[in-house]
C-alpha cells in the first residue's frame, strides 16, 4: 500500500513557460507573488515572466530576496513582502532555493519556521504554490518537502507535509539551457541520488519505483552530455524529465542516508546540496548495499552500468565503481579538496551525525546506522 501525492497540474516541455497565464486562469488564480533571487532577476527571466503575466492582464509583485540555502530571516522578509500585497498564490521561480522559499512563504503564516521542522507534518494548505524550476534539479516542483536553514544553529531543517506540494508545476527544460557546468553537474547528481535513494528506501513502493527507475535511465546517460554541451537540447530535456521523476519518486517514497548526512555538510560548511550529496554517494552506497543488494543491482541495470544477466553482487560492484568515476569525471571534490578546515570538520562530526539522524532520513536507509557509524562514514569521505 502507498499514499501517492502529485501536483494537480504539471505542464512539461520546451516553451511551456508561455502557458503560465492560461494555467493560472485554469486554476482560478489571478494575483501571484513571484518569489525569486537576484540572479534570476539579473538574467532577465523575472522580467520575461512578469511581462508574460501583464500581457494576459495579470498583475504580479516580485520578492527577489531569496538566498542560497534559504534562511529563516529571508523567509520572514518574504512573508512581510507577501503581507503588503493582495495575493492568491505564490510562484517559486528559479533553482531549489527560490522554489523552497516560495513553499515556506506560502504556508508559514504567523508561525515560527523551527516549529514546522520534521517530524512535524504540515498538511493544511496555505496559498496555492506554483513551481517553475530553472535547474534539473531538486525536483522540488513535485515534492511535499522544503528545506530551510536556521542560521543561528547552522541547521538545515527538513519541513514536510502536503502543504508544501505545489498545486502547479511548469517544467520547461529551455530554462536550463543557459546553466553553467558546475550547477548542471551538482543539481544533476542530486536528481540521481533522489532516484536511487527513493528506490532503496524502506518507504519504496511500486509507484515510486517506476518513477525512480525511469529517472535513473534518463539521468545516467544524459548528465555527462548536458555537462559536456550545455546547449544539448535532447540531453537537457531528458534531464528535466528525470529530475521531475526523481522528485516524484522520493516525495512518494523518501530520501535516505545520503541526504541525511548531506544536509549537515551543507549547513556547516556551505557546500551546495548536490555537491555534498555527490561527495557522500559512492561511500554511502558501498556501505548500504549489502542490506539491499537486489535493489541496488536494479539501479545499476537501470543506469546501464551493469548487464541484465550480471549477478547482483557484480552489478553493485559496478554501481559503486561508476559512482566514483562520475565524481571524478565531473570534478567533484572531497571535503578536504573542497577546502574545509580539518579541525572544524573533526570537531563537528558528532553534532553532524546527530543532526543527520534527527532528520529521520537515515531511518529509511536499507542499512540503518547509529551515530558512531555515521561519524565513521564522514571520516571515510574526508580525503
Ligand atoms: Fe536532494
- Predicted confidence at residue 108, as pLDDT, reads 96
CB 305 within 8 A of CB 319: yes
- All three cell numbers of 105: 512563504
pLDDT > 70: what percent of the chain?
100
359: pLDDT confidence band, cut at 50, 70 and 90?
A: confident
pLDDT at 174: 98
Cα 184 to averaged position of ligand 1 atoms, centre (Å): 14
Measure 30 CA to ligand 1 centroid, in angstroms.
31
Taking the centre of ligand 1 as the mean of its atom positions, its distance from the CA of residue 280, in whole angstroms, is 12
Give the global pTM.
Answer: 0.96
How much is the pLDDT for 78? 98
Distance of CA 136 from the midpoint of ligand 1 (Å) = 11
User: pLDDT tens for residues 138-166?
Assistant: 999 999 999 999 999 888 899 999 999 99
Please name which of 60, 7, 4 lies closest in space to residue 29, comparing C-alpha atoms. Answer: 60
User: Percentage of the chain surpassing pLDDT 90?
Assistant: 96
pLDDT, average across residues 203-218: 98
How far from the centroid of its chain's Cα atoms is residue 283's Cα?
20
Q: What CA–CA distance (Å, rounded) separates 130 from 205?
A: 27
- Tell how far the Cα of 167 is from the centroid of ligand 1, in angstroms: 20
**How confident is the model over 246-256, as a mean pLDDT?**
97
pLDDT of 366 > 90? The answer is yes
User: Which residues are in the CB-under-5-Å shell of ion ligand 1?
Assistant: 190
* Average pLDDT along the chain: 97
pLDDT of res. 154? 84
Q: First and final CA of the chain: distance in angstroms?
A: 42
Q: What is the DSSP letter of 15?
A: T
**Given this model, what pLDDT does residue 203 score?**
97
What pLDDT, on the 0 to 100 scale, is given for residue 155? 85
Instruction: Determine contact, residues 196/216, Cβ cutoff 8 Å.
Output: yes
Amino acid at each position: 500500500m502507498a499514499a501517492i501525492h502529485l501536483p494537480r497540474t504539471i505542464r512539461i516541455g520546451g516553451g511551456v513557460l508561455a502557458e503560465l497565464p492560461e494555467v493560472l486562469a485554469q486554476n482560478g488564480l489571478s494575483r501571484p507573488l513571484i518569489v525569486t533571487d537576484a540572479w534570476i532577476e539579473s538574467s532577465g527571466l523575472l522580467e520575461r515572466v512578469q511581462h508574460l503575466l501583464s500581457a494576459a492582464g495579470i498583475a504580479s509583485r516580485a520578492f527577489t530576496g531569496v538566498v542560497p540555502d534559504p534562511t529563516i530571516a529571508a523567509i520572514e522578509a518574504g512573508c512581510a513582502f507577501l503581507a503588503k500585497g493582495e495575493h492568491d498564490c505564490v510562484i517559486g521561480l528559479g533553482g531549489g532555493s527560490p522554489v523552497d522559499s516560495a513553499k515556506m512563504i506560502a504556508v508559514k503564516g504567523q508561525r515560527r519556521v523551527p516549529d514546522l521542522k520534521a517530524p512535524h507534518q504540515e498538511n493544511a494548505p496555505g496559498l496555492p504554490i506554483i513551481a517553475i524550476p530553472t535547474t534539473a534539479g531538486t525536483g522540488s516542483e513535485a515534492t511535499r518537502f522544503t528545506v530551510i536553514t536556521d542560521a543561528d544553529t547552522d541547521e538545515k531543517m527538513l519541513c514536510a507535509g502536503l502543504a508544501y506540494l505545489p498545486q502547479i508545476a511548469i517544467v520547461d527544460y529551455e530554462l536550463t539551457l543557459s546553466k553553467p557546468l558546475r550547477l548542471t553537474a551538482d543539481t544533476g547528481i542530486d536528481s540521481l541520488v533522489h532516484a536511487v535513494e527513493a528506490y532503496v528506501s524502506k518507504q519504496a513502493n511500486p509507484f515510486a519505483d517506476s518513477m525512480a527507475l525511469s529517472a535513473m535511465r534518463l539521468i545516467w546517460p544524459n548528465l555527462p552530455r548536458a555537462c559536456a554541451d550545455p546547449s544539448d537540447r535532447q540531453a537537457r530535456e531528458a534531464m528535466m524529465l528525470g529530475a521531475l521523476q526523481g522528485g516524484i519518486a522520493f516525495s512518494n517514497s523518501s530520501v535516505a542516508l545520503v541526504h541525511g548526512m548531506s544536509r549537515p555538510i551543507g549547513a556547516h560548511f556551505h557546500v551546495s546540496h548536490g555537491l555534498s550529496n555527490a561527495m557522500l554517494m559512492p561511500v554511502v552506497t558501498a556501505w548500504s548495499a549489502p542490506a539491499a543488494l537486489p535493489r541496488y543491482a536494479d539501479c545499476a541495470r537501470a543506469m546501464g552500468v551493469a548487464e541484465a544477466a550480471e549477478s547482483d553482487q557484480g552489478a553493485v560492484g559496478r554501481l559503486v565503481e561508476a559512482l566514483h568515476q562520475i565524481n571524478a569525471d565531473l570534478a567533484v571534490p572531497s571535503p578536504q579538496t573542497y577546502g574545509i578546515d580539518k579541525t572544524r570538520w573533526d570537531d563537528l562530526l558528532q553534532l553532524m551525525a546527530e543532526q543527520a539522524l534527527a532528520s529521520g532520513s537515515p531511518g529509511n536507509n536499507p542499512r540503518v546506522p547509529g551515530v558512531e557509524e555515521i561519524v565513521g562514514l564522514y571520516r571515510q569521505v574526508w580525503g
